[in-house]
Structure 1
Amino acid sequence: MKAMIDACHGFFTLPDEEREEFKSSNDVLEMFNCGTSYNLDLDKFLKWRDFFNARVHPEFYALSKPAGVSEVSLKFSRKTRQVALEITSAIAESLGLDPSYIHHAMNTDRGFEILAANYNPPCPQTESAIGLPRHTDSGLFTLLIQNEMNGLQVEHNGKWATIDVPPNCFFVNLADQMDILTNGKYKSLIHRATLNNKATRISVVFSHGPSADTVIAPAPELLEKHGQAPKYIGMNYIEYMKIQLSGKSYQKSTLDHMRYKHAG
């Protein structure tokens, strides 16, 4: 895990002209994109971060700089994917389903998986800036690691709680597609990233998701078992991600757009 954090630090401290070589469009299907969010968002809050997103499954994007980063990220992604698959089986069992149910329903053999990194240097005005604003993640769940600086906060009962993620540990963050699949049994976690004025925070997130062409809807087996009506409409995963990336769901999560009116 430390090697992955160090590799990301190496990328973010490359000269600007070298990082410019990797910039691409903001299309969700791009194998790699990176950029800087030191700009005003719609709510006039300054987002203070550098970032990259790399597709690592089913195809793996091999980042060429700095030296060794491709090997480190490949090893990390493969091992983390195995952890994600074990968690997926455990969630299925906890729901009274066959351990392989979610794997088959979500086509995880071709799962759309992304390795993302965020770099938040010390911010002189933390009261008017944010690392990442309030949001939920799009996939089934994410696995997060970070350096020694905290900054992740989750929303609980209308208040923000800072999460202490110990070294060499994952924080598992349930995401939107798991919420939809379980009809709200496993709820997507609302969270944000805060800043500090003392040291740089680096976080790395592995997003575990369905295949890009899978249509996700509440599992019929769970609806029948619990006598429930579906709370969400079904949607192709790639279309869901495009809506989320487009900004159309600003200040209202994409998940909220998917709710049937009767579900509130």
Structure 2
Amino acid sequence: MAAATDAVRGFHEADGGEGSDKARLYSREPARAVKYHCNFDLYQSPVANWRDTLYLRMAPDQPDAGDLPDSCRDALFEYAEQVKNLGSTLFELLSEALGLKPSYLTDIECNQGQIILCHYYPPCPQPELAIGTSRHSDSGFLTILLQDEIGGLQILHEDQWVDVTPTPGAFIVNIGDLLQLISNDGFRSVEHRVVAKNATPRVSIACFFSTHFHPASTRMYGPIKELLSDENPPLYRETLVRDYIKHYYSIGLDAKTAISDFRL
């Protein structure tokens, strides 16, 4: 965890001139597995976020080692492998929590896709006029987040923003929209944001588990039939993951708008 955080900080604080890894990787091309950019939703969202991002699509198809920056390649490949293992364990526990067999969520491929976003939030001269990351819920099934000691992450609880105080050696695990959808509200995705700060830069590494990286996938996801009954009817319509993600991206980061549009 420390090695990954240090590696990400080093990449973001390195020179970005001609010939640098930043210049080589800068792209807004959706299909690229490794890229450096800011604000994936720059042309959809009503506001821009005060952060830069190193984007890594690590599964189901791992990028070539040469695609990653030299300075953080080894640390991030190792981190991705360890977090993928942790995710598989969490999916087993979540399956059991729903009253299903431990392998249920992995059997339906909730853990097959892995994207890692390495965020860097520079000091902001006027934090009261900016936002680090806009209010949103995550689009996928599950998110495992590592944050440094700076803080700034908040979750929305009973219409109040609550600070998520950094705890050394701990991960933050978020339920995503798609897990809320297939669990029929058994689990609920959490709205969160990151406030801008004017002091020390903040680093976070978010690992998202989703399956929209295989556009040819025809697996439909809807409320799990074993969870449904006359007392617990389906609350959402079925969808291809790529169709849900396309709708989510068309809106940009914005509360929980996307999943509400799939409610029956």
Q: TM-score with structure 2 length normalisation?
A: 0.88
Aligned counterparts of 2:249 and 2:203: Cα–Cα separation in 1: 22
CA deviation after TM superposition for structure 1 residue 251, in Å: 5.6
Equivalent residue number for residue 100 of structure 2? 97
* 1:35-54 alignment runs, 5 A limit: 35-37=37-39, 43=46, 45-54=47-56
Q: What is the Cα deviation at residue 52 of structure 1?
A: 2.0
Amino acid corresponding to residue 52 of structure 1 in structure 2 = L
Asked if residue 67 in structure 1 is aligned to residue 70 in structure 2, the reply is yes
Question: For residues 63 and 116 of structure 1, what CA distance do their matches in structure 2 show?
Answer: 18
Matched, 1:221 2:222: no
Q: What letter matches 2:246 in structure 1?
A: K
Q: How far off is 1:218 after superposition?
A: 0.5
Worse-superposed segment, 247-256 or 127-136: 247-256
Deviations 1:123-166 (A, max 9, x none): 11111100110001111110111111001100001110010131
> How many residue pairs are counted as aligned between the two chains?
255
Per the TM alignment, residue 230 of structure 1 is displaced from its structure 2 partner at its CA by 1.1
Displacement over 3 Å in runs of 4+: 39-43, 62-66, 248-252
| Contact 2:110-2:209 within 8 A present in 1 as well | no
Amino acid at match of 2:135: R
Structure 2 stretches lacking a partner, 5+ long: none
Structure 1 residues 216, 165: closer, same or farther in 2, change over 3 A? farther
Does 1:14 pair with 2:14?
Answer: yes
Gaps of 5+ in 1: none
Partner of 2:119: 118
Match of 2:36 among 34, 37, 41: 34
Secondary structure, aligned partner of 1:197? coil
Map of 2:192 onto structure 1: 191
The answer as to whether partners of 1:48 and 1:131 remain within 8 angstroms in 2 is: yes
* Structure 1 residue 243 displacement after superposition: 2.0
Change in Cα spacing, 1:52 to 1:203, as seen in structure 2 (3 Å) is same
Q: Which residue of 2 aligns with 1:158?
A: 159
Q: How does 1:118-137 map to 2 (within 5 A)?
A: 118-137=119-138
Contact 2:123 2:198 in 1 (8 A): yes
Distance in 2 between the 1:258 and 1:245 partners?
A: 14
Contact 2:155 2:164 in 1 (8 A): yes
Is it true that 1:87 corresponds to 2:90 in the alignment?
yes
The CA RMSD measured in Å over matched residues stands at 2.3
Deviations 1:219-256 (A, max 9, x none): 000013x7322111111112222222233675652111
Deviations 1:90-148 (A, max 9, x none): 0111111100111112353xx11101011101111111100110001111110111111
What amino acid sits opposite 2:231 in the alignment?
Answer: G
